[in-house]
Amino acid sequence: MSPTRRTLLAITVLLAAGGAVRLAFWQLSRLRERQATNALFLAGRALPPLDLGQALRDGTPLEGRMALAHGRFDPAGNLLLRGRVNNKAPGLEVMTPFVLDSGAGQLWVLRGFVRSPDATTPPAEVPLPTAGSVTITGVLLAIPETTDSGQPLTRSGQLTYRRLDRGVATTTLAGAPAAYLLLESDSTGPGGLVGVKPPTLDEGPHFSYVVQWICIAIAILAFGVIALRRSGPGHVPPLAAP
C-alpha cells in the first residue's frame, strides 16, 4: 500500500473511532440526564400533592410533582400524539386543555389513549371528558423542546404530532406552563379515556450503549492497527503454496 493510502486509512480509522467514542459520551450524558430526572420524580413523589392553582400563582416548580386541580376540560382544543402503544394496542394519546376554576390559568392534561389501527389516523370521534367542573389528580411532566415542532402531520382532516413540543403546546394554549398533567385515571374517570402509565423510573439501555460504542471504537482501532501493519513497507506477504 502506498504512503498516501496508508495515511488515508489511518485518518479514516481515527475518525470512525472518534465518532464511536463521541456517541458513547452522548449516551453517557443521556444516562446522567435520566438519573437526574428519576431523582427529581422520586423526590416529588415523597412530597404532598400540589394544589395546582396555588402552585401556578406561587411559581412553584412543577416537574415530577403529584398535583390536584379543580376546573373543566375544553375538548375543542384537543392535541393528538400519534405513534403510541398502550397494552400492545396501537393508537394516539389525547392532550386536552384544562381550565382551572381558581382563575390561575390553564394547562395541558394528557387525558388518555384512543386506539387506531395504524397509530396515526385519529378515530372519527374522540370520547369526551366529563362536562362541567371536575377534580383531577396526576403527575406533572415537563413538556420537551424539539427541533421539528413535534413533526406535525394532518390525517383525516386532523392535525397530529409525533412528539409533544413545548413551543407548539405553549403557543396553542396561551399562558400554559411548560409542564402537563398526566391524568391518574382510566375510562371511568373524568378524562373518559384509557389511562396512560407514567414513565418508568429505570436507567434505560444507555449504559449498555456506552459499553457497545466503546467496544466498537476499540474494534475499529484494532482493525486499523492490523491493516496498517500488514500494509507496511517491512511486511512480507506469505508465499503462495506451490
* pLDDT of residue 231 exceeding 60: yes
Buried b (16+ CB within 10 A) or exposed e, 42-60: eebeeeebbbbbebbeeee
What local confidence, expressed as pLDDT, does residue 163 receive? Answer: 92
Q: Mutual orientation of helices 206-230 and 3-45 as an angle, nearest 10°?
A: 170
Element (H, E) at 159: strand 158-161
Q: How far is CA 23 from CA 10, 20, 29, 45, 194, in A?
A: 20, 5, 10, 33, 37
Task: Convert the pLDDT of each residue in 98-122 to its tens digit.
Answer: 999 988 889 999 999 999 999 999 9
pTM here is 0.74
User: How far, in Å, CA of 62 to CA of 50, rounded?
Assistant: 9
| Eight-state DSSP code of residue 75 | G
User: How far, in Å, CA of 172 to CA of 76, rounded?
Assistant: 12
